[in-house]
Amino acid sequence: MPLGLPKGLNQNKMKKHINMLPFIGSCFTILVLAGACTNDEAVPLREPIAGEGEKFTFTWEETADSIQNKVYSTYLGSEGTFNENNTGSSNFHYWPNAHALHYLVDGYSRTGTDSYISKMKALVRGIKNKNGGTYSNVFNDDMLWLGNATVRAFEATNDQEYKEVAEFLWKDVIASHSDVFGGGITWKKDTPKQKNAVSNGPAIILAMRLYALDGDSDYLDWAKQLYQWQKNTLVDPVSGLVWDNISEENGEVTINKEWIFTYNIGTWIGSGIRLFQATGDQVYLDDALKSARSMIKSPKLTTEGLMRDEGQGDGGLFKGILVRYFTELIQLSDLNSADRKTFVDFLRYNAATLYSKGIKRPQMLTGPNWGKMPDGNVDLTTQLSGAMLIEAAAILKSNKIFE
């Protein structure tokens, strides 16, 4: 596997991943919307619903319910886990199933429907069974995604089993911390000289989730240490955009500043939110706001006001992760009104575009381009991103933030 490629990418998938590399757009697409090609101003958002002045009612909650039902009936595999896609592949992949648990928790938290409880329990146990009878994995980020999802499942249900899984995963992951490159957690257990944003941002969030449960200061200390390392090493100090990884090969240390993906921005924002709430230190919120402001106007992360099409496969799930933590930022009471309006407008534009242009009905499938209906194969990763966006819209509607 070439250095720095996200997990699960083999030679047959490399072309797909190359297409996900940061988009350096021509001035033309920006001119269509903004009238100028600059990085200093956010691209104006266009209403995706046809009919100037027409009143349109979005059924966010009902649509979220419909997609939840379709995801379960379309993608459910064996032992409570979910299949790779909707076109016949029953392959099991750990990390999308971890996010499927997040997604089920979303549905349960929003509706309180008891049927979610058995689905969540079957899924978390199925992940263990299909992973060789253990939650331990060579990929630290896989375990971190599941750790974060199980804390949320515990918070929603008060089922101690979920908390025990999260604590086990934390201990397993933190063993990969080292002083190589001055700190940080390795991408994989067997890559001591490669450390990625994806194995540190989620670790900070998991540490803070566990700290919120128990008040154990060790979790807070780890979160602060990892945050400072990532900020010093993998975050652009000017824009707040997050670089993918730092690695060493043949004695040469390289920071991959070309790979800037939505999910790394999302977990960085989520890290800052939690540390700000726990410590009251404004710098954490300022960091999160800097990254969010840059994200919504960066051609590396957005295209014509929409979060970028990052393909299917692993990249298909990246946007959903950003949506989760961006939604948390929108709901933060400490947010000023100007930022809140800008962020709400951005997320609503994405959700409204997906709702009106990107959902294939009645199958309720969502593709990697939220402005276009999918045709044929839709990977679980890609479906989850769109589904989580609609869940976010439903929550924001219920909290009277969305129309």
pLDDT confidence tier of residue 219, bands split at 50, 70 and 90: very high
Confidence tier at 185 by pLDDT (50, 70, 90): very high
The answer to whether 270 touches 230, Cβ cutoff 8 Å, is: no
What is the rounded CA–CA span in Å between residue 349 and residue 352?
5
Helix 318-331 with 94-111: angle, nearest 10 deg: 30
**Cβ 298 vs Cβ 322: under 8 Å:** no
Residue pair 244/174 in contact by the 8 Å Cβ criterion:
no
State yes or no: pLDDT of 12 exceeds 60.
Answer: no
249/236 Cα distance (integer angstroms):
22
Identify the pLDDT of residue 13.
34
**pLDDT tens per residue, range 63-103:** 999 999 999 999 999 999 999 999 999 999 999 999 999 99
User: pLDDT at position 297, please?
Assistant: 95
Does the pLDDT at position 2 exceed 50? no
Mean pLDDT for all residues in the chain: 89
Domain 11-398 top-level CATH class: mainly alpha
Whether residue 44 has pLDDT greater than 70: no
Stated length of the chain: 403
- 343-360 pLDDT tens trace: 999 999 999 999 999 999
Confidence (pLDDT) at 136: 98
Categorize the per-residue pLDDT at 403 as very low, low, confident or very high, splitting at 50, 70 and 90.
confident
How much is the pTM?
A: 0.88
> Which of the two residues, 389 and 18, has the higher pLDDT score?
389
| Least confident residue range of 8-22, 91-105, 224-238 | 8-22
Q: Is the pLDDT of residue 295 over 80?
A: yes
The pLDDT assigned to 37 comes to: 33
For 120-129, how does the pLDDT look when each residue is reduced to its tens digit (9 = 90+)?
Answer: 999 999 999 9
Q: What is the pLDDT of residue 56?
A: 73
Mean pLDDT of 258-273: 98
CB atoms within 10 A of CB 55: 7
Neighbours of 244 (CB within 10 A): 22
Burial class (CB in 10 A: 0-12, 13-18, 19+), 200: buried
When pLDDT is averaged across residues 238-263 and rounded to a whole number, the result is 97
Going from N- to C-terminal start, the domains of the chain cover 11-398
Going by pLDDT thresholds of 50, 70 and 90, the confidence category of residue 47 is low
Residues of the chain with pLDDT > 90: what percent?
Answer: 86
